[in-house]
Amino acid sequence: MVSPPEIIGHGTWYDKAAKELIERELRLGRSLDLIRTESGLGASGFPHIGSLGDCIRNYAIALAVEEQGYKAEYIAFSDDKDGLRKVPAGLPKELEKWLGYPVSDIPDPFGRCHESFGDHMSSLLLEALDVIGVEYRFMSGARVYRQGLLNREIIEIMENAERAGRIIYEEIGQTKFLNSLPYFPVCENCGRIYTTNAYKYLPDERKVLYRCEGMEVKGRWLEGCGYEGEVDVTAGEGKLSWKVEFAARWKALDIRFEAYGKDIADSVKVNDRICREILGHEPPMHVQYEMFLDKGGRKISKSAGNVFTPQVWFRYGSPQSLNLLLLKRFIGTRSVGVEDIPVYMDELDRLEDIYFNRVNIEDPKERAKLRGLYEYCWLLKPPKEPSVHIPYRLLVNLARVAPEGREEEYIREKLSEYGYLKRGARGLEERIRYALNWVRDFEEPVRKPVELSAEEAEAVRRLIGELRRGRGADDYQSAVFKVARSLGLSPRRFFRTLYLILLGEPQGPRFGPYVEAIGVENAIGELERALEGD
């Protein structure tokens, strides 16, 4: 009855899903020569952490399929034929004139670094994929339409547009496609894609007739130019509505798996039926996951319009720590913010300890799962040796007090003193960089001028004298007590004042060694400034 648990692949959710996927394909009698997974890349705004989640989760399934002994491939499909619906936060208002245009037709707002707006945005995501090590086959929607890769499916859908419209209505109650074709032509006159209404299909010529009559997009009316035209649906001068486009993609590109966020759940539901009933093709296996939400509060980056991008994460944390966030759980809404990065950095260290058997986990299933999760964080290419492990907060604390100009040296010395470097220092440099970035960006000392009483000012003056005469940490330490005693001041209070001056905090590391570390001249300089500011 109680049989030992069978561990599939690396023991993770991905391995289990991959097994189900393969079994499903076997049941359907399809070829197993190549199992493709896919995700759509939004190209109309800055890629968010969640955008990367779409990619890496579908890629992880491809990896898991390969672990089962089959060939697999992940396709990153850029939705760059979609129109611009809203000017992303952080970009100039002038872009409003491009609302409704396909993002692949809009010039790159950042200059000439990319061919188009859409190209710029999707390349930001591709960059992140490269940093993380995701292998993908990139496809641009605009190019796919131009190359005619979806033509057979487009025609089939146009010929059955009435049925498609009914399916959409039945599934989600949307009436629009009962009267319009699920195809958006790019207006030959004004160049916009969301203002056109395709109302008639001419099967012999494979053309749709349309009027540029305008549409409401994100609560805002985009007035059409009134142009009436016709367009060949195989010419790549328009696109299918999302309500039917996925189905076309799935069949034409032979996609077997697509995990998606719940925001597009309705579209997937409709497309599943379109795929089966109109294209006669069994849709891919799906898994639905929750969204990643921005945590309010902390300012991240002005230039990025406060979007929590992968690039922001990489400033403070490793690619693998981001993978951990994205892979560890599928269900449950995740509110994420930069403040979570230390947690994931530390958790990854724990997983690494488990992977390298420095920490024993009794339950074999549990152990397999955690080791597997670690391996997937490295996209199944884990390092041969563990890295150095230092609690992120400790690094931040050290980075905060590290004397300017020799931060790294100081941090290394301290860590060595604390015994953290006994097993080597693999990856220490990056960790120090992350912590320094953290402190620079979030803990820029808000050193308010310290108000000194006459007595305290006198104490500071005397201390400066003592520091000048002193030689080394012990002298500096003693000086504080000497001065405090000479004025009948409580050393506790005096230390507090000194830390407020030097660090902006009421506490700090042992005074003498700290003064030595930052350089006694620097310390004296700070103290003199405090006197002047009085």
Partner RNA sequence: GGGCCCGUAGCUCAGCAAGGUAGAGCGACGGCCUCUUAAGCCGUGGGUCGAGGGUUCGAAUCCCUCCGGGCCCGCCA
Residue 65 CA to residue 73 CA, distance in Å, equals 9
Q: Which of residues 416-435 bind RNA (CB under 7 A)?
A: 418
Q: What is the 3-state secondary structure (H, E, C) of 49-106?
A: HHHHHHHHHHHHHHHHHHHCCCCEEEEEEEECCCECCCCCCCCCHHHHHHCCCEHHHC
Interface region with RNA, contact rule CB under 7 A, candidates 144-152, 205-213, 285-293, 428-436 = 285-293
Count of residues near RNA by CB under 7 A: 78
CB of 13 to RNA, least distance (A): 4
Q: Which is nearer to RNA, 342 or 386 (CB)?
A: 342
User: How many Å from the N-terminal Cα to the C-terminal Cα in the chain?
Assistant: 80
255-261 vs 285-289, strand pairing mode: parallel
Which of 68, 189, 234, 397 touches RNA (CB under 7 A)? 397
Q: Which is nearer to RNA, 112 or 469 (CB)?
A: 469
| Cα 223 → chain centroid | 35
CB of 16 to RNA, least distance (A): 4
Which of 91, 190, 225, 293 touches RNA (CB under 7 A)? 293
Place of tokens 């006198």: 458
Nearest CA-CA partner of 142 in 159, 121, 164, 158? 121
CB of 90 to RNA, least distance (A): 19
Interface region with RNA, contact rule CB under 7 A, candidates 212-220, 251-259, 451-459, 462-470 = 212-220
Q: Which is nearer to RNA, 36 or 400 (CB)?
A: 400
Instruction: List the x/- string, 132-171, binding to RNA by CB under 7 A.
Output: ----------------------------------------
Which of 328, 389, 412, 431 touches RNA (CB under 7 A)? 328
Which of 77, 136, 145, 184 touches RNA (CB under 7 A)? 184
Q: Which is nearer to RNA, 273 or 334 (CB)?
A: 334
183-185 vs 72-79, strand pairing mode: unpaired
Consecutive H or E run containing 416: helix 407-418
Q: Which of residues 444-473 bind RNA (CB under 7 A)?
A: none
CB of 420 to RNA, least distance (A): 9
Which of 65, 72, 215, 415 touches RNA (CB under 7 A)? 215
Residue 502's CB is within 10 A of a number of other CB atoms, namely 22
Using CB under 7 A as the binding rule, whether residue 225 contacts RNA is answered as no
Q: Which is nearer to RNA, 401 or 527 (CB)?
A: 401
Joined together, the tokens standing for residue 506 give 């009421």
Instruction: List the x/- string, 63-102, binding to RNA by CB under 7 A.
Output: ----------------x--xx-x-----------------
Residue 3 CA to residue 347 CA, distance in Å, equals 31
Place of tokens 């409704």: 100
Interface region with RNA, contact rule CB under 7 A, candidates 65-73, 210-218, 247-255, 403-411 = 210-218
Interface region with RNA, contact rule CB under 7 A, candidates 8-16, 47-55, 132-140, 152-160 = 8-16
Using CB under 7 A as the binding rule, whether residue 477 contacts RNA is answered as yes
Which of 176, 276, 433, 447 touches RNA (CB under 7 A)? 176
| One-letter identity of residue 80 | D
Q: Which of residues 483-522 bind RNA (CB under 7 A)?
A: 490-496, 499, 503, 505, 507-511
Q: Which is nearer to RNA, 126 or 411 (CB)?
A: 411
Using CB under 7 A as the binding rule, whether residue 334 contacts RNA is answered as yes
Contact 68, 14 (CB under 8 A): no
Would you call 243 exposed, middle or buried from its count of C-beta atoms within 10 A (0-12, 13-18, 19+)?
A: buried
Q: Which of residues 366-385 bind RNA (CB under 7 A)?
A: 369
Residue 201's CB is within 10 A of a number of other CB atoms, namely 20
Nearest CA-CA partner of 260 in 83, 61, 58, 72? 58
Joined together, the tokens standing for residue 99 give 């609302």
Which of 13, 59, 201, 434 touches RNA (CB under 7 A)? 13
Q: Residue 472 has what DSSP assignment?
A: S
Contact 356, 386 (CB under 8 A): yes
255-261 vs 35-42, strand pairing mode: parallel
Contact 119, 131 (CB under 8 A): no
Using CB under 7 A as the binding rule, whether residue 15 contacts RNA is answered as yes
Beta strands in 304-392 (DSSP E): 334-336
Q: Which is nearer to RNA, 140 or 267 (CB)?
A: 267
The CA-based dihedral angle spanning residues 512, 513, 517, 519, taken in that order and rounded to the nearest 10 degrees: 20
Q: Which is nearer to RNA, 33 or 444 (CB)?
A: 444
Residue 378 CA to residue 356 CA, distance in Å, equals 14
The CA-based dihedral angle spanning residues 317, 320, 326, 330, taken in that order and rounded to the nearest 10 degrees: -140
Q: Which of residues 229-268 bind RNA (CB under 7 A)?
A: 241-243, 262-267
Angle (CA) 489 493 494, round 5°: 70
Interface region with RNA, contact rule CB under 7 A, candidates 11-19, 205-213, 252-260, 461-469 = 11-19
Using CB under 7 A as the binding rule, whether residue 299 contacts RNA is answered as no
Residues found in the chain: 534
Which of 26, 89, 331, 487 touches RNA (CB under 7 A)? 331
CB of 424 to RNA, least distance (A): 19
CB of 290 to RNA, least distance (A): 5
Q: Which is nearer to RNA, 201 or 495 (CB)?
A: 495
